[in-house]
Chain A
């Protein structure tokens, strides 16, 4: 927690837990009879209830998108760069709703919840949930909040996939679909990385076929490895050179001098299997921190939801046909150095929308930070994001 809360922060926020009793039929054919959704909201719903926006989180996100839970919290919510007073998703103008998706591990019903049928943790028995299932649960949340139409549904990465599903399945229930750093479906390379992550979790001796909670253990090493490989795909080569090339910068007094981000941790090689380079130590740290709060079974579920996402399944593989009934306006933004979901993947969606005759805007933002850029304060990105949403606000708050 910073000593004083910045003026453009939503400040101290409190999550709420909403309980749902109407059974949710999942795409897999299974049903969840009742469930909780953890949510956070920022800003005020206007009288016409027309200024609500839904934020969809990505792989490791949750309902805590902005502000601080307490004065002791060291870091704000995961999208604090974009949500707050005067920020692109301006809480002075919009009523912002974020939730932890089903299957998550931040309070919504998921593998760490107790299965009422067995009296023990769901663990590996928690049904595989898909993007479509999440959106169906988000519709119920929307109804509970008494919102007829979102001013915008917004998300990056896996969050953007939920936005896409909204525009296809519930066209009349959103005015704007904003997808950032997204892809119409995963490539073989994307799935390959996910499988490495899953294998590292399931191969951990403490995994116990997903029943680690009953065994009083946790596959920490596996989750760390999964996060490390994931993290590499979120950064770009140039971002890593920059981040771990500070020593060269100090020596040569030039940005990104020629050491390719090979900063040493202690100044000399160990000639052993110790951590020699800064990048190694950074990945260990990231993995370690992640494994402390993220559930292994949830990680497995989230990667499956990514792998399974394909909005064309009901439309003979034709993306433009999937958008036929969409009536919202679309904004897509991609980042030049994103190699996980590179700009050409966003353009596939843009082209499908053009073919379907939809209203679409698209920006390709020059940025070094790779896939992670969607979470970071990239000036052109924030500026365009604000400009678009100010226009939306003018329409819905008129």
Chain B
């Protein structure tokens, strides 16, 4: 299990109803179903991932997040998840609004583009950062909307979104006092627990 997912599960109430947007192979939902007894629905478009969810017994719906989420009713889920997917959607602000409409609370995780490695890469090489963490070239990356921790803070403020908890961790998914002091500089993955 990805360590950021381990942090997330602490914020999910046992027996709650969880919607995971871009649920991948269903690992997180399977974990939450087994350990927290949640009633889960995942959305996914990749055929192999959908199949992996079916094999795990995870409920999965073939639906493209970038089209519409209007088929989901207001406050029909306790928690709506978007993990490491925000940077790959067409309209991140619209997705966040939709998540907050559908869920009573939401969890968003994304790679922090404001991390010192990205800054150093851009500063010294003058090219878009490529790393193990973000292995794509600018022209073939699915990650079309990178943002930083500070960017996301500003978005939350502009939209009057309540940040219940913000955790920023490094590549070992540990949060030290240094990362707490300089999250946008040292943090690699941002994990937000938000609501309206």
A361-B55 CB under 8 A given contacts A354-B41, A354-B72, A355-B73:
no
Tell me the chain B residues, 44-103 only, with Cβ under 8 Å from chain A: 47, 50-51, 53-57, 59-63, 71-73, 76
Query: Given A354-B41, A354-B76: A360 and B51 within 8 A (CB)?
Result: no
Given the known interface contacts A354-B41, A361-B61, A364-B62, the answer about A347 and B71 at a Cβ–Cβ threshold of 8 Å is: yes
**Residue of B with least CB distance to A383:** B51
Residue A329 interfacial (CB < 8 Å): yes
Asked whether A255 is an interface residue with its Cβ less than 8 Å from the other chain, the reply is no
Q: Are A391 and B62 in contact (CB under 8 A)?
A: no
Q: Knowing A329-B59, A347-B71, A361-B61 touch, does A391 contact B41 (C-beta < 8 A)?
A: no
B51 A354 Cβ-Cβ under 8 A = no
**Alpha-carbon distance between A360 and B54 when the two chains are bound, in angstroms:** 11
B51 touches A387 (CB 8 A): yes
**Smallest CB gap from B52: residue in A:** A387
Chain B: CB-nearest residue to A366:
B47
Interface size bracket, A side? 20 to 34
Nearest CB on A from B103, distance (A):
13
Measured CA separation A387–B56 after assembly (Å): 9
- Determine the distance from Cα of A354 to Cα of B40 in the docked complex, in whole angstroms: 11
Contacts of A355 on B, CB cut-off 8 Å?
73, 76
Flag if A388 contacts B76 (CB, 8 Å): no
The B-contacting residues of A in range 351-372, CB under 8 angstroms, are 351, 354-355, 357, 359-364
Provide the residues of chain B in CB contact with A363, threshold 8 Å: 50, 62
Min CB distance B113 to A, Å, is: 34
Q: Is B17 engaged at the interface, CB distance under 8 Å to the other chain?
A: yes
Q: Is B39 an interface residue (CB 8 A)?
A: yes
Q: Please, how many angstroms separate the alpha-carbon atoms of A121 and B110 in the complex?
A: 71
Partner of B50, one of A329, A360, A384: A384
A2 to B54, CA, bound (A): 35
> Pick the contact of B54 from A357, A359, A364, A391 — CB < 8 Å?
A391
- A110-130 vs B, CB cutoff 8 Å, 1 = contact: the mask equals 000000000000000000000
Give chain B interface residues in 171-189, CB to chain A under 8 Å: none
A390 at the interface (CB under 8 A from B): yes
List the A side residues contacting B51 at CB < 8 Å: 383-384, 387
Bound together, the chains give a CA A350 to CA B41 distance in angstroms of 12
State whether B54 touches A384 (Cβ < 8 A).
Answer: yes
* Nearest CB on B from A94, distance (A): 17
Given A350-B61, A357-B17, A359-B39, are A391 and B55 also a contact pair (CB < 8 Å)?
yes
Give complex CA distance A150, B69 in Å: 33
Any B CB within 8 A of the CB of A231: no
A380 within 8 A of B: yes
Question: What chain A residues lie within 8 Å of B57 (beta carbons)?
Answer: 391, 395
A360 to B61, CA, bound (A): 7
Identity of the chain B residue whose Cβ is nearest the Cβ of A395 in the assembled complex: B57
Complex Cα gap A125–B62 (Å): 45
For the complex, give the distance between the alpha carbons of A362 and B61 in Å: 5
Please name all residues of chain A whose beta carbon is closer than 8 Å to the beta carbon of B54 when the two chains form the complex: 331, 361, 384, 387-388, 391
A354 touching B60, Cβ below 8 Å: no
Alpha-carbon distance between A357 and B50 when the two chains are bound, in angstroms: 20
In the assembled complex, the CB of B163 is this many whole angstroms from the nearest CB of chain A, namely 28
- Show 14 A/B contacts (Cβ-Cβ < 8 Å), sorted by A: A331-B54, A350-B61, A350-B71, A354-B41, A354-B71, A354-B76, A362-B62, A384-B50, A384-B51, A390-B55, A391-B54, A391-B56, A391-B57, A395-B57
Interface, chain A (partner B; CB < 8 A): 329, 331, 347, 350-351, 354-355, 357, 359-364, 380, 383-384, 387-388, 390-391, 395
Q: What 20 new A-B contacts, CB under 8 Å, besides A350-B71, A357-B17, A363-B50? A: A329-B59, A347-B71, A350-B61, A354-B41, A354-B72, A355-B73, A355-B76, A357-B39, A360-B41, A362-B60, A362-B61, A363-B62, A364-B62, A380-B47, A387-B54, A390-B55, A391-B55, A391-B56, A391-B57, A395-B57
